[in-house]
Amino acid sequence: MTAERDVKAYMTELGQKARLASRLVAAAPVAVKNKALLAIADELNACRSMLIAENSKDLAAGAANGLDAAMLDRLAVKDATIDKMIEGLRQVAALRDPCGEITDLNYMPSGIQVGKMRVPLGVIGIIYESRPNVTIDAASLCLKSGNAAILRGGSESIHSNRAIAACLQRGLEVAGLPSTVVQVVETTDRAAVGELITMPEYVDVIVPRGGKGLIERISREAKVPVIKHLDGICHVYIDDKADLKKAFDITLNAKTHRYGVCNALETLLVAEGIAAQVLPSLAEALAEKGVELRGCEKTRAIISANEAVEADWSTEYLAPILSIKIVAGLDEAIEHINRYSSQHSEAIVTEDFTRARRFLTEVDSSSVMVNASTRFADGFEYGLGAEIGISTDKIHARGPVGLDGLTSQKWIVLGDGHIRQ
Amino acid sequence: MTAERDVKAYMTELGQKARLASRLVAAAPVAVKNKALLAIADELNACRSMLIAENSKDLAAGAANGLDAAMLDRLAVKDATIDKMIEGLRQVAALRDPCGEITDLNYMPSGIQVGKMRVPLGVIGIIYESRPNVTIDAASLCLKSGNAAILRGGSESIHSNRAIAACLQRGLEVAGLPSTVVQVVETTDRAAVGELITMPEYVDVIVPRGGKGLIERISREAKVPVIKHLDGICHVYIDDKADLKKAFDITLNAKTHRYGVCNALETLLVAEGIAAQVLPSLAEALAEKGVELRGCEKTRAIISANEAVEADWSTEYLAPILSIKIVAGLDEAIEHINRYSSQHSEAIVTEDFTRARRFLTEVDSSSVMVNASTRFADGFEYGLGAEIGISTDKIHARGPVGLDGLTSQKWIVLGDGHIRQ
């Protein structure tokens, strides 16, 4: 038997076990799911030295294979990392169970009552890079939402993930759930990903978490629906009816609060009528933070900036760089955004009611904001309690995806012997 | 240039026009969309003789090509067909606009207000068989929900669809909308379907309407999300705590109200403890209607029936045939349903609260009913006003898909200069 056939057989077996387990976890009462979450937290706490020892094997191999400092940092499992995993598990345990929620139950003209009941999706495949903490994040959200999960982390984190998997399995068993509710793919063979994303009979949805290349490849090759998160090319538009202080605060926060995040500001649009008032102080504050400015011609007539070229408008810098464009007004701002944005998050700063209303309606992005920083686009800030990712798609889930995004709704009909006429 | 490249260029052009038109129709006020729907109805009314003449070309070609009577019947456009199209357009015009609906707008701890706004998906591709009335059905639902549409009907209906397309385009123009909001594919080349389902840059979702073969092929080959509707293998389970009259009425209605529909009953499950009471009168009534019974061994000990074989449990008859299985009780009924059902619609007949509650929770189908006929699984009966199909998927839309199923929700954030701490 070839290695490839081995991987196929292995993944098929994981899929079959996940499908069976999904039925059991879907029917599990919330108390059982919460017990498992807390038991997993206890296991992690009890196994700190084992987790750190296994992780050190990955770190040593990663260093030997030339991983850069940032990658090694994301790969590392320290006591503080374990603390965060434990806290995350406890937070998810404290969230309301999305399953079984009945909404919109109304009487119809025929006399039947029709409503919707929230139910798990089934089996969720998560593909992510070498960040062991994602193993716990993803497992906890899938479990709480009543789904089985198959987790495939980056191959550089294989020892860490196997160690975490052991804790997951013991925690599930403590709660009386099958250990197959969460399975970690224990081969580093890349063919495993190819199998995972082409088994619609066993996997209901794929959530890739990682770089753009990974997500594009998975979206292209998957035969299973994908909840995907691509770029965050976010805009702030400062309208000429903006409050200057709000414009200043929001722009600075959106750009400089954190640089490497998908909801950070990348392109600032400024109405021509207010540019001379707002840009100089902003440029000064951004310069103090070490942010490189790249401006259109009109911008460079007001402040000192490098020249912005066409490619700047469609670049996610994830770095202390800001492109700035002066626009005639709202129409041009919306046009620019709908053309160049990655449909992640955009904000307008204005005191004008009608312009705010138009911006909210006409900008086609997953989060659209008035007088607030794009940095708020986040599952925790939106009250979801946690998020498995931010969807830049429109199908199924858009924007921050919390527990509800990992569920579906079935229709329920209640009658008293009703038949159709 | 080869014919294949011609089709690719043609479909790309349709896609580009649809993408542009989708932005305009997404921003159109409901009054404009309704004006277009009513103007299309007026155009159809004014063009009756042209529509019937064009349709007669399709009917003649169809007859010459050996289409059977049922296919010719579905292909025919008569005065009554046009009346129904006109009534459908007026009904959709009377529905509430799903777009712009804001829900769940709440203050968060940070002080921002976060809610959701319902928005169109963008461009919807509909692929259907040679049923000209679907052209109007699909166009009206896409238009009302603020989407652009590309419609690809069966090649046998090409003259009818071109004639209907002309009415659609004039109606759109009367309302001041671009005629490209709804485009009908005017080539019968089958390669056009292949292009339509692999243009994610221009098409946001595909809705195939038709036979299982068509839907399976499209699902397999599509690079665009598909809202699909496969079989309806629907079950009624008569519990031993059932009211006998309700059990009788519901079973008879679900099986015999209409045979060729996806929400018709195909397999009846009966609890052992009540089988002898309920089956004889049911068998008699079903025999009167000419329904063939296929029963398990225990069934055939009570009533006269042909032998049901394994394949019967997974067959959608769409015909006057009913398979009957006697089960020990609720557990076996749920197990049978979750194994053999196509996850369309299932009903329990019982007076027992706990069993009803368990059936609603544990049966994993798009519609789950208590004491009501499976025939109610329908967009009109559920109060959606209309439906574009019944989804047997869990992603995005499940069960009857109305206007809401053709939309997404974006997040909106309202602040007063709020920044993230």
Whether B309 and B266 share a structural domain: yes
- Among A113-117, A251-255, B216-220, B364-368, the range scoring the smallest mean pLDDT is B216-220
Q: Which residues of A touch B382 (CB under 8 A)?
A: 108, 114, 411
CB contact under 8 A, A368 and B413: yes
CA distance A99 to chain B (A): 9
Instruction: For B217-264, write each residue's pLDDT tens digit.
Output: 998 899 888 998 878 999 999 999 999 999 999 999 999 999 999 999
The predicted pLDDT at position B250 comes to 98
In chain A, residues with a C-beta closer than 8 Å to the C-beta of B360 are: 117, 412
Confidence of residue A56 (pLDDT cuts 50, 70, 90): very high
DSSP, res A345: E
Residue A308 corresponds to which tokens in the numbers above?
């912005």
Q: For tokens 């707008």, what's the residue?
A: B105
User: How big is the A-B interface in CB pairs under 8 Å?
Assistant: 213
Sequence-ordered list of residues with C-beta below 8 angstroms from that of A6, at least 6 positions apart, any chain: none
Asked if A411's CB is within 8 angstroms of B372's CB, the reply is: no
pLDDT band for A1, please (50, 70, 90 cuts).
very low
- Residue in chain B closest to A245 (alpha carbons) equals B417
Closest by CA to A257, choosing from A281, A229, A234, A228, is A234
**CATH number of the structural domain spanning residue B320:** 3.40.309.10
B413 vs A367: CB contact, 8 Å cut-off? yes
Tell me: do A209 and A240 sit in the same domain.
Answer: no
Q: What pLDDT shows up at residue B220?
A: 87
| pLDDT of A211 above 70 | yes
Task: Answer yes or no: is B392 within a domain.
Answer: no
Q: Are residues A381 and B246, on separate chains, in Cβ contact within 8 Å?
A: no
A123 — pLDDT class (breaks 50, 70, 90): very high
- Pair (A279, A217) in one structural domain: no
Whether A387 is in a domain gets the answer no
Distance of residue A160 Cα from the nearest chain B Cα, in angstroms: 32
**With contacts defined as CB-CB under 8 Å, which chain B residues touch A360?**
117, 412
For residues A67 and A192, state if they share a domain.
yes
Tens of pLDDT, residue by residue over B272-297, are 999 999 999 999 999 999 999 999 99
Q: Given a cut of 70, is residue A3 above it in pLDDT?
A: no
- State the total domains in chain A: 2
One domain, residues B243 and B128: no
| Closest CA of chain B from A362, distance in Å | 7
Interface touch B383/A23, C-beta < 8 Å = no
- The reply to whether residue A414 touches residue B371, judged by beta carbons under 8 angstroms, is yes
- Residue at B382 is within a domain: no
Does residue B62 sit in the same domain as residue B136?
A: yes
Average the pLDDT over A80-93 and give the result: 96
Which residues of chain B does A383 touch, with a Cβ-Cβ cutoff of 8 Å?
Answer: 106, 108, 114
At A240-255, the pLDDT tens digits run: 999 999 999 999 999 9
Mutate to test the interface with B, among A20, A235, A330, A395 (most CBs of B within 10 A): A395
Residue B384 lies in a domain: no
The answer on pLDDT for B2 being more than 60 is no
* Token pair belonging to B274: 């009540």
- A385-420 pLDDT, tens digit per residue, is 888 989 988 889 999 999 999 999 999 999 999 999
The answer, yes or no, to whether residue A95 has pLDDT greater than 60, is yes
Per DSSP, A210 falls in state S
Q: Indicate whether B419 belongs to any domain.
A: no
Minimum distance, in Å, between the CA of residue B58 and any CA atom of chain A: 35
Task: Return the pLDDT at A392.
Answer: 86
Among A379-393, B143-157, B402-416, the minimum mean pLDDT is found in: A379-393
- Does one domain contain both A182 and A276? no
Q: Are B156 and B65 in contact (CB under 8 A)?
A: yes
Q: What is the mean pLDDT of chain B?
A: 95
- For residue A27, what is the nearest residue in chain B, using CA coordinates? B362
My answer on whether B183 and B281 are in the same domain is no
A370 with A347: CB under 8 angstroms? yes
User: Is the per-residue pLDDT at B310 higher than 70?
Assistant: yes
**Rounded to two decimals, what is the model's pTM?**
0.91
Q: What is the pLDDT of residues A247-291, one digit of tens each?
A: 999 999 999 999 999 999 999 999 999 999 999 999 999 999 999
Q: Please report the DSSP string for B130-193 in residue order.
A: S-HHHHHHHHHHHHHTT-EEEEE--GGGHHHHHHHHHHHHHHHHHTT--GGGEEE-----THHH
Q: For position A214, what pLDDT does the model report?
A: 87
**Strand A265-271 and strand A321-327: pairing?**
parallel
Which chain B residue lies closest to A218 (C-alpha atoms)?
B223
According to the model, what pLDDT value does residue B1 have? 41
What tokens were used for A134?
């994602």
ipTM of the complex: 0.92
In a shared domain, residues B135 and B86: yes
Interacting residues of A224 by C-beta distance below 8 A, sequence separation 6+: A125, A197, A198, A199, A200, A203, A204, A205, A206
Pairing of strands A399-401, A407-418: unpaired
Beta strand spans in A165-310 (E): 182-184, 205-209, 234-238, 265-271, 292-295, 306-307
- B116: helix, coil or strand? strand
Same-domain check for residues B158 and B247 = no
Residues of A in contact with B250 (CB under 8 A): 417-419
pLDDT > 70 in chain B, percent: 99
For B285, the domain range is 234-376
Do A65 and A161 reside in the same domain of the chain?
Answer: yes
Using CB atoms, pick whichever of A370, A373, A416 lies closest to residue B414. A370
Do the domain assignments include residue B393? no
- What pLDDT sits at residue A2? 53
C-alpha B325/C-alpha A107 separation (Å) is 32
Is A421 among the domain residues? no
DSSP character at residue A308: P
Dump pLDDT digits (tens) for B13-33. Answer: 999 999 999 999 999 999 999
Amino acid at B132: P
- The whole-angstrom separation of Cα A291 and Cα B293 is 77
A382/B26 touch (CB, cutoff 8 Å), yes or no: no
Question: Closest-CA residue in chain B for A115?
Answer: B382
Does A53 have pLDDT greater than 90?
yes
Any idea what the CATH number is for the domain that residue A114 is in? 3.40.605.10
In a domain, A383, yes or no: no
Residue B242 and residue B133 share a domain: no
Q: How confident is the model at residue A229 (pLDDT cuts 50, 70, 90)?
A: confident
Question: Which residue in the set A106, A121, A418 is minimally distant from B394, CB to CB?
Answer: A121
